[in-house]
Structure 1
Amino acid sequence: MFAMVLLVFFIGIVAIKARISAVKSKEISPKYFRLMQGYEAPEAITRSTRCFNNQFEIPLLFYVACTLYLALNIESKLGLITAWLFVGFRYIHAYIHLTYNHILHRMYTFWFAFISVMVLWVNLVIHQI
């Protein structure tokens, strides 16, 4: 889970830097950030903000599953492997999103992460039956 938290902090810093850079270069007015509307945001801001927001969607299922594994004292090699696969795919997904942003590559890494977290949950349920 800590590896995911590091990813969130890193993407947050990238998003903040993109905003500061866009304001300093006068690509966008600081007023845009009041409601995130009224101006056409530069791509770097939109991309980094969306990438940051993505870290609070599917990863939420990961955090809950990991917390349950810990709370229920479940030791599972499959759970550990799929948790690390999820984290790895999320790092790759974020890298793609923040750099060359190829939609097909992003989609594949999203689905691999999605399947990983699904396996994590199925394994959790099986261990509780």
Structure 2
Amino acid sequence: MIYPIFALVLLTFIVGVITLSTRFKSVLNRTVKIKYYRNMQGQEVPEFVTRTTRCFNNLFEVPVLFYAVTLMMVATGHKSELSLLLAWCFVFSRVVQAMVHLTYNNVIHRMIGFWAGFIIVIIMWLELLFTAVP
């Protein structure tokens, strides 16, 4: 179970680096004033700055439920092929959502990635509840 967790952490770091790079570039090429980043308000910013920020923030929303359920599985010694498969499917859904968000940003495609991951993490919680709790 540790490998899917690590994969999601790695995705978060990658998107974080992209976000940071985008912010530095926006200040260096003077499309965004550095003061904007204090409160993230006060001026219009390029769409890509907003998208990278939102994508990074998204990796701290539903994935928190994934981290919680996978760590509960590790802590309780719960092991099943289904839970491992679901964990990798969740990570894949987040990779898809991030790639869509950071590239062509089709809302329908991004929503499919989001809802797939959301449903998967619910199934993971149900599997843990019904198989690990006496």
TM-score using structure 2 length: 0.94
Structure 1, gaps ≥5 residues long: none
- 2:108 aligned partner, one-letter code: L
Aligned to 2:116: 112
Distance of 1:109 and 1:35 partners within structure 2: 29
Aligned length: 129
- 1:114 aligned partner, one-letter code: F
Aligned to 2:97: 93
Distance of 2:77 and 2:25 partners within structure 1: 46
* Structure 1 position 29 matched with structure 2 position 29: no
Structure 2, gaps ≥5 residues long: none
* Structure 1 position 74 matched with structure 2 position 78: yes
Distance of 2:80 and 2:66 partners within structure 1: 15
Aligned to 2:47: 43
CA RMSD between the two structures? 0.7
Distance of 1:35 and 1:68 partners within structure 2: 35
Ranges of 4+ aligned residues in structure 1 off by more than 6 Å:
none
Cα shift at 1:35: 1.0
* Structure 1 position 3 matched with structure 2 position 16: no
* Structure 1 position 60 matched with structure 2 position 68: no
The percent of aligned pairs where both chains have the same amino acid is 44
- 1:57 aligned partner, one-letter code: E
Distance of 2:117 and 2:54 partners within structure 1: 17
